Amino acid sequence: MKNILKITLLAISILTLTQCKDDDDKPDKPNYGAEYFKCKVNGVEFQTLGYPFGCEGLIFYYYPEAYLTVAEKYMVFGSSNCSEKVNMSIRIDGLEHTTGILDFLEPAFADSIYPYYRYLDMEDSIYVKLETLVDGEMKIIDFIPRQDGSSPYGTFKGTFHFTLTDSMGIDTIRVTDGSFRFDVPQIF
């Protein structure tokens, strides 16, 4: 009886050990990194809040090649707070694949940069858009493409600040302490 018990325990131990794989503790898909878009708007922390199936919290699109009506090297990235009906993005035309300081008024390695901020004025129940650029700057720390279809995603990471006003110059916002990181699924 003791031998049967020992043999059974030994068999269970062997089966358990042979079922373990090297990658059992790894996720099914790679962890590409935490994506984020953070900043302060007039000194107040901007909160990203999206809803599944209706409102994206984080926004990142990059087109290294032209696609339908979108020009090549067009990028837009930003964030939304869906519950407060606020969204902010930075749109860039002709962005070259490089790192460094990018002045929004006189971009060295992009054709144009135009940030956008929109919020719902609860009193008047209208959306207010601010997209007239006063000043701004971005430091691109990483702009790494994906190598091929089976490799991990690349990275777009940096910091920013800018000032926008409405078309009449009445309403102005200052966006400070901005930072971002997004996965880049494209190969270029």
136: burial class by Cβ within 10 Å (0-12, 13-18, 19+)?
A: buried
Ordered mean pLDDT values, 10 residues apiece, the chain (188 residues):
51 49 44 84 94 85 92 95 93 95 96 95 89 96 88 92 92 96 84
What are φ and ψ of residue 29, in 5° steps?
Answer: -120, 155
End-to-end alpha-carbon separation of the chain, Å? Answer: 68
Query: CA torsion angle for 124, 133, 81, 154 (degrees, to 10)?
Result: 160
pTM score: 0.78
What does the pLDDT read at residue 156? 94
What does the pLDDT read at residue 124? 87
Residue 188 CA, distance from chain mean position: 18
Q: How far apart are CA 42 and CA 64, in angstroms?
A: 33
What does the pLDDT read at residue 55? 85
pLDDT in tens, 138-166: 999 999 988 888 888 889 999 999 999 99
In the chain, where the domains are located: 27-184
